[in-house]
C-alpha cells in the first residue's frame, strides 16, 4: 500500500468507510439513525466522486459529484426525515434475525462479494479497481438489510443504500456511466422516492402503521 | 420527425391530462391521444417498410424489424385499452370507487406509461432502456393502488419493492455491459452503450464479464417479465389495480421486458459462443410454465387466474427464445403478438364481467351468457384462444414451439405438454361455469361496449389462419436478427 499516492489512499479510505456504514446500517434498529447513515454514505460517495473528478480531470464527474451530494446527501435524507417525523416511525421492530447472526451473515456476504468482483477487478484499468469488491459488498449488504427488516421505511433505506453501492461500482469500474444515463438514474430514484412518499401516506391512512405484517394478506390461500 | 411525433404525443397527453384528467371529456381526450400515437406508429411502420431500418437523434433511437412490430402492437393495444377504459372508468366513478383527483392521476399516468414503454422499445441506448423500464414501473405503482384498498396497497408495495430491487440488478448488469464495451468502443460519446454498436463488436467483448452481466440482466428484467421464481408481484399487481391497467401490464409491459431480455441475450451470446444464455432462458421459461400451471388450480380470483396464465405464456415465450434458431424465434414473436392481443381482450371481458357482478371471486360469477351475451362470448372465445385451441393464433405459435422443441430439445416436450394440459383444465373448469352456469341475477339494462374485445380476437383469429406476408417477413427478419445457437 505504501506506493499508493495520497489521493488514492484517501479514495480507499472513503471506500472502507462506505463498507463500514453499510455494516452499521445492518445492525441499526433506529430508523432515524439509518437515514443518517444513508446521508453519510451520500457524503462519502459525493466526496469520492469529487476526488476522482479532480484526479482524472473528467468534467462530467464534477457534475455527477454535485448531483450526488445534492440528491443523496441532502435532499433524500431530508425527505426521509420529514416522512419519519410526520408518520411517527422511529423504531423498527425486532429484526427477523438477531443482530449477531445478521452480522455473521454479512461477513460471509462480503467475502462472497469480493469473490464475485475478482474477475471484474482483474480486467479493470481504472486506478480505483480495488474498490469494486467493496461496491458489490455494499449492494449485497443493502440487500441483506432489506430482507431482514419489517418496516417499510427501513426497507426503503436499504433500497437507497443498494443504489449507492451500484453508483459506487459504476464509478470504480468505469469512472461512471455516461452523463445522461446517470442523470436518468438519479431522476428515477428521485421520482421513486416521491411516489413512495405518497404511497406511505396511503398505507398509513389505511392501516395506522407502516409495519409490513399488515401487508401479508395476499397469499394463495385467500 | 415521425419519431418525435410518436414519443411526444403520449408525453403531451400526459401533461394535458395531468391538468384536465378529471373533466367529463377526459376519457375521450385519452382515446384521442392514444389514437394519435397509433397513427404515428403506423406512419413509422410505413416508413420502415419503405426505407428499411431507421435511426434518430444521433443513433440514440433506432427501429429495426424486431422493435417496429412491438411499437405498433403497443400503440394498438394502448388505443383499444383506452377505448375500453372510457366506459369502465366512468362506471367506476359513478360507483364512487375513484375520486376526480384519482381519475386525473389515472389518465395522466396511463400516458406516461405508454411513453415509457415506447422509449424502452425504440431506444438504442441500453442505459436509456433501463431508465425507461424503471419509469414504466414507477408510473404504474400508483395506478395499482388507485382504489386505496388494503389489498391494493399491499399489491402496490410488493410491485414497487420487488421490481425496484429487480431492476437494480438490471442496472448492475448494464454497468457491467458498459464496463466490457468501454474497453472495445472507448468511453467517448455514448457508443459503448448503443446496441447497434455493441452488436457489431459483440465478438470482442470480454466473455467473463458479459456472462456475469447477463445473470444480472436476466434476473433484473426477468423480474419484470414475471419469470418464476421472481413472479410474486405479478398476480397481485394484476388483480388489485383497475382492469385497464391489468390489460396493459399483461399485454404490453411483459412484452417490453422480454424484449429487453432478448436484446441482452443477442449481445451476450455473440460474445460467449456458448449455449449458457440459451440454457438459462430455457430453464427460467420451463420453471415458469410449470409453476404457473399448477398455481392456476388454486386461484379463486378471476384476475389472478389470468395473471398466472400470463406467467405461463411468458414462460413459453422465454423458452422459445432460449431454443433460438429461425423457427423458434419466429414462433416466439408470433406468440408475443397473439398473447398480447388475446390476454388484453380477456381482461376487457373480465373487467366488464366483474363490474356487472360486483365481484372478482369466480364462484360468485355465474351465467354471464344470460346476463350479457357479448361479455359471455367474449370471455369464452378469449379463453379458448388463450388455451391454444385452433384456429386461433395462439395455436399456431404454440404448435410451432412444440414441434421445434420436439426436434431440438426433446426432453422438454413432455414437460411443456403436461403443463399446457394442466393449465387448460385449470382455466377451462373455472371459466365454463362462469359463462354458462345458472344465474339468478337479472339481465342488465345496458349492453357493454365490447368492440375492443372482438377486434382483438378477430386479429388473433386472422393470425391463426393467415399471417400477412409483410408481417411474416418482419417476423422472419427479426428472428434472424435474434439468431441463437
A vs B, Cβ pairs < 8 A, gives 133
Is A173 a residue whose pLDDT tops 90?
Answer: no
pLDDT tens over chain B, length 485 residues: 788 888 889 999 999 988 888 888 888 899 999 999 999 999 988 888 788 788 887 888 888 888 888 999 999 999 999 999 888 888 888 888 888 888 999 999 999 999 999 999 999 999 899 999 999 999 998 889 888 888 888 888 889 888 988 888 899 999 889 888 888 887 666 778 888 888 888 888 888 889 889 999 999 999 999 998 888 899 999 988 899 999 999 999 999 999 999 999 999 988 888 888 999 999 999 999 999 999 998 888 999 999 999 999 999 999 999 998 889 999 999 999 999 999 999 999 998 888 888 888 888 888 888 878 888 888 999 999 999 888 898 999 999 999 999 998 899 999 999 999 999 999 998 888 888 877 766 555 555 667 888 888 888 888 888 888 888 888 888 888 887 65
Which of A152, A131, A12, A162 has the alpha carbon at shortest distance from A80? A152
Report residue B424: phi and psi, to 5°.
-55, -50
B256 to chain A nearest CA, in Å? 18
Cβ–Cβ under 8 Å, residues B423 and B292: yes
Asked if residues B111 and B8 have their Cβ atoms less than 8 Å apart, the reply is no
Q: Predicted ipTM?
A: 0.88
Q: Which of A116, A162, A202 sits opposite B168 (nearest CB)?
A: A162
Interface membership of A191 toward B (CB under 8 Å): yes
Pairwise CB contact (< 8 Å): B158 & A215: yes
Q: Where are the alpha helices (H) located in A28-98, listed in sequence order?
A: 31-56, 59-68, 76-87
Are the C-beta atoms of residues B462 and B394 closer than 8 Å to each other? no
Helix (H) or strand (E) holding B119: helix B100-122
Contact A159/B175, CB-based, under 8 Å? no
Closest residue, chain B, to A126 (C-alpha): B179
pLDDT at residue B288 in the model: 94
CB atoms within 10 A of CB A220: 11
CA distance B246 to B67: 23
* Phi then psi dihedrals of residue A178, to 5 deg: -55, 150
CB contact under 8 A, A205 and B165: no
Amino acid at each position: 500500500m505504501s506506493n499508493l499516492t495520497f489521493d488514492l489512499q484517501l479514495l480507499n479510505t472513503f471506500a472502507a468507510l462506505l463498507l463500514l456504514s453499510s455494516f452499521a446500517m445492518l445492525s441499526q434498529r433506529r430508523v432515524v439513525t439509518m437515514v443518517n447513515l444513508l446521508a453519510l454514505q451520500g457524503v462519502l460517495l459525493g466526496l469520492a466522486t469529487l476526488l476522482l473528478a479532480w484526479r482524472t480531470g473528467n468534467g462530467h464527474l464534477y457534475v455527477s459529484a454535485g448531483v450526488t451530494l445534492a440528491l443523496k446527501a441532502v435532499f433524500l435524507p431530508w425527505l426521509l426525515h420529514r416522512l419519519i417525523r410526520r408518520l411517527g416511525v422511529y423504531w423498527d421492530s425486532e429484526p427477523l434475525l438477531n443482530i449477531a447472526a445478521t452480522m455473521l451473515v454479512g461477513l460471509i456476504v462480503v467475502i462472497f462479494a469480493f469473490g464475485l468482483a475478482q474477475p471484474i477487478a482483474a480486467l479493470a484499468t481504472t486506478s480505483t479497481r480495488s474498490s469494486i469488491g467493496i461496491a458489490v459488498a455494499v449492494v449485497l449488504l443493502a440487500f441483506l438489510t432489506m430482507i431482514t427488516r419489517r418496516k417499510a421505511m427501513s426497507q426503503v433505506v436499504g433500497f437507497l443504500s443498494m443504489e449507492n453501492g451500484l453508483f459506487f461500482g459504476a464509478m470504480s469500474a468505469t469512472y461512471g456511466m455516461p452523463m445522461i444515463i446517470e442523470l436518468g438514474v438519479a431522476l428515477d430514484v428521485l421520482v421513486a422516492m416521491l411516489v413512495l412518499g405518497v404511497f406511505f401516506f396511503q398505507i398509513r391512512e389505511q392501516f395506522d402503521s407502516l409495519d409490513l405484517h399488515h401487508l401479508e394478506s395476499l397469499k394463495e390461500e385467500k | 420527425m415521425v419519431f418525435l411525433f410518436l414519443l411526444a404525443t403520449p408525453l403531451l397527453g400526459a401533461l394535458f391530462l395531468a391538468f384536465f384528467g378529471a373533466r367529463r371529456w377526459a376519457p375521450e381526450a385519452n382515446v384521442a391521444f392514444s389514437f394519435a400515437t397509433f397513427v404515428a406508429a403506423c406512419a413509422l411502420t410505413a416508413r420502415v417498410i419503405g426505407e428499411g431500418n431507421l435511426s434518430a437523434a444521433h443513433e440514440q433511437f433506432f427501429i429495426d424489424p424486431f422493435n417496429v412490430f412491438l411499437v405498433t402492437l403497443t400503440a394498438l393495444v394502448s388505443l383499444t385499452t383506452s377505448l375500453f377504459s372510457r366506459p369502465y372508468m366512468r362506471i367506476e366513478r359513478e360507483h364512487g370507487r375513484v375520486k376526480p383527483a384519482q381519475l386525473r392521476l389515472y389518465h395522466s399516468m396511463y400516458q406516461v406509461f405508454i411513453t415509457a414503454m415506447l422509449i424502452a422499445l425504440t431506444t438504442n441506448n441500453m442505459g436509456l432502456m433501463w431508465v425507461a423500464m424503471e419509469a414504466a414501473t414507477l408510473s404504474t405503482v400508483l395506478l395499482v393502488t388507485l382504489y386505496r384498498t388494503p389489498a391494493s396497497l399491499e399489491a402496490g408495495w410488493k410491485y414497487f419493492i420487488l421490481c425496484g430491487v429487480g431492476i437494480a440488478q438490471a442496472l448492475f448488469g448494464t454497468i457491467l455491459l458498459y464496463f466490457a464495451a468501454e474497453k472495445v468502443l472507448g468511453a467517448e460519446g455514448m457508443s459503448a452503450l448503443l446496441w447497434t454498436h455493441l452488436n457489431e463488436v459483440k465478438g470482442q467483448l470480454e466473455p467473463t464479464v458479459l456472462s456475469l452481466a447477463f445473470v444480472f440482466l436476466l434476473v433484473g428484467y426477468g423480474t419484470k417479465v414475471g419469470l418464476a421464481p421472481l413472479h410474486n408481484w405479478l398476480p397481485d399487481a394484476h388483480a388489485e389495480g383497475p382492469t385497464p391497467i391489468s390489460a396493459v401490464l399483461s399485454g404490453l409491459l411483459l412484452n417490453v421486458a422480454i424484449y429487453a431480455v432478448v436484446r441482452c441475450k443477442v449481445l451476450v451470446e455473440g460474445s460467449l459462443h456458448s449455449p449458457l444464455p440459451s440454457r438459462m432462458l430455457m430453464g427460467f421459461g420451463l420453471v415458469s410454465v410449470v409453476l404457473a400451471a399448477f398455481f392456476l388450480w388454486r386461484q379463486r380470483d378471476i384476475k389472478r387466474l389470468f395473471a398466472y396464465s400470463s406467467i405461463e405464456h411468458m414462460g413459453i415465450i422465454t423458452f422459445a427464445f432460449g431454443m433460438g434458431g429461425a423457427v423458434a424465434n419466429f414462433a416466439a414473436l408470433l406468440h408475443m403478438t397473439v398473447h398480447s392481443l388475446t390476454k388484453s381482450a380477456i381482461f376487457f371481458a373480465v373487467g366488464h364481467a366483474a363490474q356487472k357482478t360486483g365481484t372478482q371471486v369466480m364462484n360468485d360469477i355465474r351465467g354471464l351468457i344470460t346476463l350479457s351475451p357479448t361479455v359471455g362470448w367474449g370471455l369464452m372465445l378469449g379463453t379458448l384462444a388463450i388455451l391454444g385451441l385452433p384456429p386461433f393464433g395462439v395455436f399456431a405459435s404454440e404448435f410451432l414451439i412444440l414441434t421445434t422443441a420436439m426436434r431440438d430439445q426433446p426432453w422438454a416436450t413432455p414437460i411443456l405438454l403436461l403443463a399446457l394440459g394442466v393449465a387448460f383444465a385449470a382455466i377451462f373448469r373455472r371459466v365454463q361455469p362462469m359463462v354458462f352456469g345458472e344465474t339468478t341475477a337479472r339481465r342488465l339494462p345496458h349492453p357493454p361496449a365490447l368492440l375492443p374485445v372482438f377486434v382483438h380476437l378477430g386479429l388473433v383469429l386472422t393470425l391463426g389462419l393467415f399471417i400477412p406476408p409483410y408481417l411474416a417477413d418482419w417476423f422472419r427478419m427479426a428472428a434472424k436478427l435474434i439468431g441463437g445457437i
